[in-house]
Structure 1
Amino acid sequence: MLADPAFLTRRTFLQASAAAASIAALEAWGFADEADPYGGFKVGLQSYSLRVYDADDALKHTRTLGVRYWESFPKHVPLSTLPAQVEESRQRLADAGVTLLAYGVVPFSPDETKARELFDFAKAMDLKSLSADPEPNAETFDLLDKLVEEYDVAIGIHNHGPGHRYDKADDVLKWVRDRHPKIGACVDTGHYLRSDEDPVEVIQKFGPRVFGVHLKDVRSIRSEQDIARLSRELPEHRVNMLKREGKIFTILGEGELDVVGTLRELRKLNYDSVVALEYEESEQNPLSDIELCLASVREAVKRLD
């Protein structure tokens, strides 16, 4: 992650906090309920944050980071309903002390056979929700209406920023507002910021239809000098985003996301699924940055009361 002098003092504080939390996590594999640093939120990871690692290492790092909840993507938990594969995945998670609450992002179409495979998997893994990118047509949503009722598994439609079919909150709302109560949103805070929407207001719009959260932060870059410098340092796909949007992803709490406000709205909703940090930067060595992001969440929790 690129250093910015404006954030060095705060980052130094968060680094100390993150280091202390990691040491505590290593000393105690379990968690003491009386000392929950996340205030009752099921803070964890979208395992895509650890995509450079295999499943065993990703789980080990998750616990070292001091969290125990996942939304997984397919590399870490294969999307299979074969009994042997399901048992292997469940045992691996149990041995690591990580609870899988959600999975995604998965596609849906009017194909009922493929849709049922996804819901069968969700049921076999005891998931609360699937983060999804359904085709925007009546046939697909009619099918989802039926399956969420039958399986008691929620669907959270994942926004993916400018240019995506689910760009802004209204692009999701128009498809879910008259549907089964278990069809709603997976709110990706970073992508909503990219789309110039306030995630706090987005959560308010969706209310009880919030079934997933991906915590990301975004920072706007205005200076031509900074844009030129970052264009030399960032990977190509991030340079393209910077040039199109004038924004980059950053450490949680160092950008435009109101972390306290986001958690406050989730608390009002009694949101009880995973609050999944999804940190996509520093792909080859993400752990120190993820520690800083989690420290920012803990800091925000302290400011809720």
Structure 2
Amino acid sequence: MNPRILLALALLASSLSGALQAADAVRDDHAAEQLGWHLATKCYTFNKLTLVETLAITRRLGLRYIEINPGQRFSAEQPVNTDHKSTPELRAAIAQKLAEYGVTALGYGVVPLGKDTVADRAVFQYAKDLGIGVLVSEPGADAFATLDTLTAEFGIKVAIHDHPKPSPYWNPESVLAAIMGHSAAIGACADTGHWARSGLDPVACLKQLDGHVISAHFKDTDKIGQGARDVPLGTGKAGLAAMLGELKRQHFKGLLSLEYESGASGETLIAELQQCIANFDKAAGDLAK
């Protein structure tokens, strides 16, 4: 059978049972959704677990969205990578599990993109197959002409991520310089935690990127500076209310991935993520009034 037909049939069949996996947590995300903010699990937070396990935790947390991580395995029974090199059959299985858990994949990354049109097209096709609208990457300087073409062809955006040095995109100025003269579908993935670790004020960075923020890896940290550690949103120095206030001022609508790298695991990690979500929802509620 044609692989595209196989994937379409899997999507159709799984959509009929999309409510099979009910959320364990009762979360009121009305304010966030009203503002156009889709708080998602960044699958890297659970990189030692499988995608299926991550979907179960996502629903336990009351979240409805994920950003897929290229290095994550699919399941204990099928410990194969869920990245863009996956087979059509695995993509169909991923789509089915997403629908079963009632979770939507909005992003994929951080994934390499370069000037190789064939290699890049495979990444975009993977995103299209799973209904993903944002690719998060740190593309080479020679990649942007190709990305202009592919973002237009596929209707998929590229968000440039800001790992600390030696990444060339560690600060907003470098991102703005890279995207100048290119498609509006190419912008920033605002990793607020990495900005803090680079000694940058996350709120000021968001202001610099006004109009160019496509998505975020949304974090709070215990300090601004080298060695800053992730802490629950709203308990650190990044300024949760101020960051969200700036995003609202910019009329940002889109993917905010909850990536959490505190070193916690098990139920401690779950509890800290629950605190992140509760504080995020309260701040969103205040801004939606």
Shared fold per TM-score greater than 0.5 = yes
Amino acid in structure 1 at the alignment position of 2:126? F
- 1:217-272 C-alpha deviation (Å, 9 max, x unpaired): 12239xxxxxxxxxxxxxxxxxxxx8xx2532222222111211222222233333
Match of 1:112 in 2: 117
Report if the CA contact (8 A) 2:110-2:136 is conserved. yes
| Aligned counterpart, 1:38 | 32
- In 1, are the aligned partners of 2:197 and 2:227 still within 8 Å (CA)? no
Give the CA deviation at 1:46. 0.6
Counterpart residue type for residue 198 of structure 2: S
Question: Contact 1:70–1:274 (CA<8 Å) still a contact in 2?
Answer: no
Query: What residue in structure 1 maps to residue 77 of structure 2?
Result: none
Secondary structure at 1:107's aligned position in 2? coil
Residue 93 of structure 1 and its aligned partner are, at CA, apart by 0.4
Query: 1-side partners of 2:184 and 2:238: how far apart?
Result: 27
Residues 120-151 of structure 1 deviation map (CA, whole Å, 9 limit, x = unaligned): 1111111111000111x2x3111111111111
Question: Secondary structure of 2:260's match?
Answer: coil
- The alignment status of 1:207 with 2:207, answered yes or no, reads no
Counterpart of 2:56 in structure 1: which amino acid? Answer: K
Is residue 193 of structure 2 the alignment partner of residue 190 of structure 1?
yes
Letter in 1 for 2:132: L
**1:292 maps to amino acid:** Q
- Give SS of 1:207's match: coil
Is 1:122 paired with 2:130?
no
- Report percent identity of matched pairs: 30
Q: State the TM-score, normalizing by the size of structure 2.
A: 0.81
Note if 1:176 corresponds to 2:179.
yes
Cross-structure match for 2:6? none
Is contact 1:44-1:275 (8 Å) kept?
A: yes
Q: Is the 2:25–2:59 contact (alpha carbons within 8 Å) kept by the matching residues of 1? A: no
Tell me how large the CA RMSD over aligned residues is: 2.2
* Residue 63, structure 1, aligned to residue 59, structure 2: yes
**Residues 104 and 132, structure 1, Cα contact 8 Å, conserved in 2:** yes
Q: Equivalent residue of 1:38, what SS?
A: helix
Match of 1:219 among 219, 222, 229: 222
Alignment equivalent of 1:267, drawn from 226, 248, 263 = 248
Distance, in Å, in 2 between the alignment partners of 1:211 and 1:53 is 27
How far 1:175 sits from its partner (Å)? 0.3
Aligned position for 1:72: 68
Pick one of 26, 37, 47 that aligns with 1:51.
47
Total equivalences in the alignment:
254
Q: Highest CA radius of gyration, 1 or 2?
A: 1
List structure 1 runs of 4+ shifted beyond 6 angstroms: none
Query: What is the alpha-carbon distance in structure 1 between the residues aligned to residue 256 and residue 169 of structure 2?
Result: 20
- Within 5 A, what are the aligned runs for 1:18-33? 25-26=23-24
Counterpart in 2 of 1:141? 144
For residue 87 of structure 1, the aligned residue among 76, 92, 110 is: 92
Of the three residues 102, 106, 127, the one matched with 1:101 is 106
Give the match for residue 8 of structure 2. none
**Cα 1:54–1:302 shift into 2, 3 Å:** same
CA distance in 1, matches of 2:227, 2:40: 29
Amino acid aligned to 2:88 = P
The amino acid of 2:121's aligned partner reads R
- Return the offset for 1:162: 3.5
